[in-house]
Amino acid sequence: MIQPYIEASIIGLEFTGRHSMDPWVHIVGGGLSGLSLASSLARFKRLPGEVIISEPNPEALISKTFSFWFTQDESDFLNPEFQTRAWSLGSKECLKTYSGSGFRYGTRTGQHVLQSAMQAIRNHPQITLVPELIAERPTAEHVFDSRPCALDSFQLIQSFAGTEVSFNHPHEITTVSLMNDMCVTDTGIRFVYVLPLGPERLLVEHTEFTTSPADLTKLNNLNNDYLCEHFDPESFQIIRTEGAHIPMGFRHQESHWGIPLGARGGMTRDATGYGYRTIRYACRDIGNQLVESKRPIPYQKSALTNRADQLFLKLIAKRPDVIPKVLLHIANNMTPDRFAAFMMMRAPVDLLHMLRAAPVKPFICALLGRYQWI
């Protein structure tokens, strides 16, 4: 039986009345991006006006997990709860393990993000989270829109289901299994992601990069099969599950209420789905702009990164059978630190390092639209 992960009262969610009709800033959605912007504004003791976050179910963040690569000088800002230097990648036939030097792989739970954000909100007299669903564009001076986008707007889909377990003894796993047991499906590729969350906690996820939404129940069943195959079923308890479909690019641009945030604002990487680091920095910059110049600038994704990601997405859609070998080839021909930087796409130079490491033929054929030549 699945045990409740955490009681909402532990987070200390407090909602104090209604808000004024026309606040200075209205943030629609209290997920990672909405709360990151609110937290950035909370750093300023005095704001030009009232800030409202409208979120009907802030506790939903508890069921999420955010991972990212980071350097030591980013640790205080990105605030990882768990970290490791080692990660693995590959298929059942060929699995490689890599160890970063300058980069570590970090993770924050949604519970940790929510607790931190709510503390900042409670401590600021001008910021309020209201448990409400907004049906139309607010009339604030500045509106930020972090609502989820419609599934039919996704170019490709990253479908995943995760199962977190607690062991009766240390599991002794220190390496993150990023994309292990990679295999081809009818609509894309599937892999298992195994993430240690402390000495006795583990998150197992099965993920598909796919052209149509995967069955999350089937993915969850694969998690259970994996756990029972690799561990004694009597040695662990399931404490929570998670699952979602997240966008890998968009077929068309949706309309926004003001400035878009999060995946809606292009802050998640199309080719990988990583977004935590970008969201945190982008929302910090927007918060500074709001207070200092009164002119917030929407986040803009690099055109070069976008083009490269589009090539990769087309390869997944047209030739998923080559993706495992392509990814392993790239990882084997880059240093672990450069691979980590590329996965986060921190700077255009990271893309150049990837292109040097990548097998030439698949990407040239994708560029020419000749997928049958691969």
243 token code pair: 């699952």
297 sits in which H/E element: none
Q: Which residue has the higher pLDDT, 254 or 337?
A: 337
DSSP, res 372: G
218-275 pLDDT, tens digit per residue, is 999 999 999 999 999 999 999 999 999 999 999 988 899 999 999 999 999 999 999 9
What pLDDT does residue 157 have?
A: 97
**Whole-model pTM?**
0.91
The domains found in the chain, sorted by start residue, are: 8-67+105-149+254-292 (3.50.50.60), 152-249 (3.30.9.10), 303-373 (no CATH)
pLDDT grade, residue 4 (50/70/90)? very low
Nearest to 12 by CA among 109, 174, 129, 177: 129
CA distance 282 to 262: 9
CA distance 107 to 66: 6
Q: Which residue has the higher pLDDT, 265 or 11?
A: 265
172-217 pLDDT, tens digit per residue, is 999 999 999 999 999 999 999 999 999 999 999 999 999 999 999 9
Helices in the chain by DSSP H: which ranges?
8-11, 32-42, 75-78, 110-122, 216-230, 276-292, 303-318, 323-332, 336-344, 348-357, 360-368
142-158 pLDDT, tens digit per residue, is 999 999 999 999 999 99
